[in-house]
């Protein structure tokens, strides 16, 4: 039953992003005002909201497939784990973009996607098991090309990619260092 709940959560988030994109288009992209604008007070809410907004349907589509796959691989650990990992990625990654990102509006789930990707890879390092190593290997083969997203390109928030991945790594380190120290204490 937990797997079904997890799938519904991931699918629900994807549908929510799709509905927001429809609303964004219908309102002449007025929701872009909720994007992350670095080093501005008005851009602070974007730390939380920007991951759910997209500049176009193509932008949304590019993020959704990876989000559905990587999100499902994380949510297999449980909905609470997925929520915790996602919160760390969105809050830490978004905060770093707010502090260091280029001037402009940052939107899109790609920072979240890069964070999930990095989390799955780092999880195999911090919590060595055959299951984690196999998952990380599959993720590395299927999504190894994401590494190119760290290169600066016009119109792409490579900072979002970089800081999202960093936050995903930190999520794995924090979550698995805690569980390892609990094992050592017991």
CA–CA separation, 98 and 133 (whole Å):
33
Mean pLDDT across the chain? 90
CA–CA separation, 147 and 132 (whole Å):
20
CA–CA separation, 117 and 67 (whole Å):
9
Strand partners, 36: 106
| Count of beta carbons in the 10 Å neighbourhood of residue 69 | 17
Model pTM score: 0.90
| Count of beta carbons in the 10 Å neighbourhood of residue 62 | 16
Report phi then psi at 96, rounded to 5: -65, -40
- Number of folded domains in the chain? 1
Weakly modelled stretches of the chain, pLDDT under 70: 1, 148-153, 155, 178-186
pLDDT at 177 (0 to 100): 79
Residue 166 sits in a domain whose CATH number is 1.20.1540.10
Is 65:143 a contact under the CB 8 Å cutoff?
no
CA–CA separation, 10 and 78 (whole Å):
12
Q: Which domain holds residue 173?
A: 2-185
């Amino acid at each position: 039953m937990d797997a079904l709940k997890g799938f519904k959560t991931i699918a629900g988030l994807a549908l929510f992003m799709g509905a927001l994109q429809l609303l964004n288009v219908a309102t002449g992209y007025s929701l872009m005002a909720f994007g992350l604008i670095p080093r501005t007070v008005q851009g602070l809410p974007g730390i939380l909201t920007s991951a759910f907004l997209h500049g176009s349907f193509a932008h949304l589509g590019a993020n959704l497939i990876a989000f559905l796959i990587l999100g499902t691989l994380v949510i297999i650990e449980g909905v609470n784990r997925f929520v915790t990992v996602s919160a760390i990625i969105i809050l830490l990654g978004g905060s770093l973009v707010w502090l260091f990102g280029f001037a402009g509006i940052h939107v899109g789930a790609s920072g979240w996607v890069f964070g999930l990707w990095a989390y799955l890879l780092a999880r195999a390092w911090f919590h060595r098991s055959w299951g984690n190593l196999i998952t990380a290997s599959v993720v590395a083969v299927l999504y190894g090309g994401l590494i190119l997203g760290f290169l600066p390109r016009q119109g792409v928030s490579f900072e979002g990619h970089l800081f999202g991945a960093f936050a995903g790594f930190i999520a794995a380190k924090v979550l698995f260092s805690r569980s390892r120290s609990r094992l050592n204490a017991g």
